[in-house]
């Protein structure tokens, strides 16, 4: 076996500064030899190793037959230079980007086995930054063995997002043949991710619908109270000194619906779908309105009285009302504070105008 002074890598990046004096710092002579897979010996100090790693400390303090015998610690299964970088980190907690590129996986394994949390955290972060389609399955297996949840989750997300490409990698083929449990976990994660996406998409669509209904309620009150372009209260000319409002697209659709509702001849027989839609909007407004005696929206008070008499109202309808009110509240909270205050002032202005 040949002895190296912290290997060639450590010669280029020694653990001590140039003016470091081991004697003044309390270091004894080299008293530990690290044996690597390539037969190399890396000299080290037992005090440094023991203070940096509880696992190495227990190995060093293990009873020996001869107290004077040399302490040797085998670190096998990883490249010699990776072991050299690991030992140097115990002296000086630094690793270059080039070393992380070459030995990041090995350093994560070593830091986990010998309980060096700072190096483990640094290695996991470096591997996250270096994940690719080709290595993500291998890194995932290591992340599971080394108990690094952040790295494990990142690998899972990358596999889920790029599964079609990952399926053709050698790592995935090896996983299918040798680790069916982890393969099942990956497939379950992908299914759960898709379900969450569908649920989120459905929730956004529902919220969009409730916001549209909330806006329609505002426009209906606006049309029936102030008027908007061509439709308004009977005692007011809506087109006089009135331009298009800020929600004219919704107001215009409601005005068309109101004009149809006022002239439809099939409404009495209940055979007009557009009139049914208008009835539903009137009913929804009545459920939301908190001042039916002052409200100028048609049928508001009548629907209120009917709802009081018919106490066993449809549960689905009550749920719709709560959702519309909640969507309006959430939408207003997302607005800047000044705009919320302006909307509240405008709302009070509408009430005082009705009076």
- What's this model's pTM, rounded to 2 decimal places? 0.64
What's the pLDDT at 6? Answer: 44
The pLDDT score that the predictor gives to residue 255 is 83
How does pLDDT run across 2-59, given as a tens digit for each residue? 444 444 444 344 444 333 344 334 456 788 899 998 888 999 998 999 999 999 999 9
pLDDT at 195 over 70: yes
pLDDT at residue 267 is higher than 80? no
Q: Determine the pLDDT at residue 68.
A: 59
Query: Do the beta carbons of residue 139 and residue 158 sit within 8 Å?
Result: no
Sign of CA dihedral 6, 10, 12, 16: negative
pLDDT digits 0-9 by tens, 90-119: 999 988 999 999 999 999 999 999 999 999
How much is the pLDDT for 321? 84
**pLDDT digit string, tens, across residues 284-298:** 888 888 887 778 888
Q: Is residue 43 within 8 Å of residue 6, measured between CB atoms?
A: yes
Residue 222 pLDDT grade (very low, low, confident, very high; cuts 50, 70, 90) = confident
**Would the CA dihedral through 104, 109, 114, 116 be positive or negative?**
positive
pLDDT at position 233: 67
Q: Which of 168, 157, 170, 97 lies closest to 131, judged by CA? A: 157
- 175: nearest Cα among 208, 147, 136, 202: 136
Mean pLDDT of 234-251: 65
Give one word for 151, left, alpha or beta, with left for phi > 0 and alpha for psi -120 to 50. alpha
Q: Which domains does the chain have, with CATH numbers?
A: 29-129 (3.30.710.10), 210-234+245-332 (1.20.1020.10)
Please calculate the CA angle 189-194-196 and round it to the nearest 5 degrees. 95
Helix (H) or strand (E) holding 7: helix 7-12
């Amino acid at each position: 076996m040949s002895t190296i002074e912290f290997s060639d890598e450590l010669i280029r990046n020694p653990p001590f500064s140039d003016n470091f004096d081991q004697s003044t710092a309390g270091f004894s002579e080299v008293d530990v030899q690290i044996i690597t897979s390539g037969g190399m010996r890396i000299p080290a100090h037992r005090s440094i190793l023991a203070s940096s790693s509880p696992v190495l400390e227990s190995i060093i303090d293990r009873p020996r037959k001869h107290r004077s015998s040399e302490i040797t610690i085998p670190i096998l299964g990883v490249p010699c230079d990776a072991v050299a970088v690991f030992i140097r980190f115990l002296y000086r907690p630094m690793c270059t980007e080039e070393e992380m590129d070459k030995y990041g996986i090995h350093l994560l394994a070593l830091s986990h086995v010998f309980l060096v949390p700072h190096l483990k955290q640094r290695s996991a972060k470096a591997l996250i930054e270096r994940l690719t389609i080709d290595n993500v399955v291998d890194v995932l297996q290591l992340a599971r063995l080394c108990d690094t949840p952040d790295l494990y989750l990142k690998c899972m997300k990358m596999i889920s997002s790029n599964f079609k490409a990952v399926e053709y990698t050698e790592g995935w083929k090896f996983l299918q043949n040798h680790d069916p449990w982890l393969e099942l976990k990956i497939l379950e994660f992908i299914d759960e991710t898709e379900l969450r996406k569908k649920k989120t998409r459905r929730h956004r669509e529902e919220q969009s619908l409730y916001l549209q209904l909330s806006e329609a309620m505002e426009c209906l009150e606006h049309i029936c109270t102030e008027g908007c372009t061509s439709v308004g209260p009977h005692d007011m000319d809506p087109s006089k000194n009135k331009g298009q409002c800020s929600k004219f697209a919704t107001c215009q659709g409601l005005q068309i619906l109101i004009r149809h509702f006022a002239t439809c001849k099939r409404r009495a027989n209940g055979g007009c779908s557009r009139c049914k839609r208008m009835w539903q909007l009137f009913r929804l407004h009545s459920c939301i309105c908190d001042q039916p005696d002052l409200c100028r929206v048609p049928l508001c008070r009548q629907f209120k009285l009917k709802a009081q008499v018919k106490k066993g109202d449809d549960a689905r309808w009550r749920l719709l009302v709560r959702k519309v009110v909640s969507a309006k509240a959430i939408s207003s909270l997302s607005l800047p504070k000044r705009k919320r205050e302006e909307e509240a002032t405008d709302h009070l202005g509408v009430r005082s105008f009705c009076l």
